[in-house]
Amino acid sequence: MKKVFVINGPARSGKDTLIEMCREMLTGRINVATYSSVDEVKQYLREFEQWDGVTKDDYWRYRMFDVKQDMVRDNDRPTRYLVERIADTPDNSIVFLHIREPEEILKLLALFPDAFTIHVERINVEQFANRADQETRRIPYNFYIDNNGTLDDFLQSVRNFVREIVLEGSELDEEIRFDLK
């Protein structure tokens, strides 16, 4: 079994936290892999533009978007990268793909029609002005996961998602705790 999930949502909405919670819940059962359509963009910016790999202010978010668009025009490199990563991931896995732009999400879904889409909802986060962050809600998603309450509320939402969608109704250890590091 290999399931593919495209994950999206505003910056700082909890996408990476959701993936880490899934990884914790599924340890010993299913491999959890995660890739981003900007992995190669980030590598380029670190190597050629002295980006520290951490700062994600408006300037660097715009720069990531611009470089990614150049790579899309260059033989669709971000999508080809993700397709290769999916192929390299073992069968007993779920694969989370970070993709922001609706047209790039739709391109991936055309190649993987069984993939699911997830939007992590969080209203009290800083909004960024770049197009990629602003357009996360432009397409419908299969799942909307709310992250507007406490960490325990979010953990319960993720637990329900894992039980019902990833494990297709199988039981999940209810004693799992998640601590932010």
User: What distance in Å separates the CA atoms of residue 176 and residue 87, rounded to the nearest whole number?
Assistant: 30
Model pLDDT for residues 6-32, shown as the tens digit of each residue: 999 888 889 999 999 999 999 988 999
- Strand ranges (DSSP E) for the chain? 2-8, 31-36, 93-98, 116-121, 143-146
Tokens of 67: 């470089």
Do 94 and 26 contact (CB within 8 A), yes or no?
yes
> Which residues is 34 bridged to in the sheet?
96
Total domains present in the chain: 1
Q: What is the CATH number of the domain that holds 36?
A: 3.40.50.300
Average pLDDT, the chain: 87
Residue 171 lies in a domain: no
Full strand arrangement of the beta sheet holding 143-146? 31-36, 93-98, 2-8, 116-121, 143-146
Residue 79 lies in a domain: yes
Residue 28 lies in a domain: yes
Residue 66 lies in a domain: yes
CA angle 149, 159, 100 (to 5 degrees): 70
Residue 33 lies in a domain: yes
Residue 70 is part of which domain span?
Answer: 2-166
Question: pTM score, two decimals?
Answer: 0.87
Q: With a cut of 60, say whether residue 62 has pLDDT above it.
A: yes
Give phi and psi for 24, each to the nearest 5. -65, -45
Residue 131 lies in a domain: yes
Residue 31 lies in a domain: yes
* pLDDT confidence band for 136 (50 / 70 / 90): low
Residue 172 lies in a domain: no
Residues in contact with 138: Cβ distance below 8 Å, sequence separation at least 6, in sequence order: 102
* pLDDT confidence band for 4 (50 / 70 / 90): very high
Q: How far is CA 45 from the centre of its chain?
A: 20
SS3 119: strand
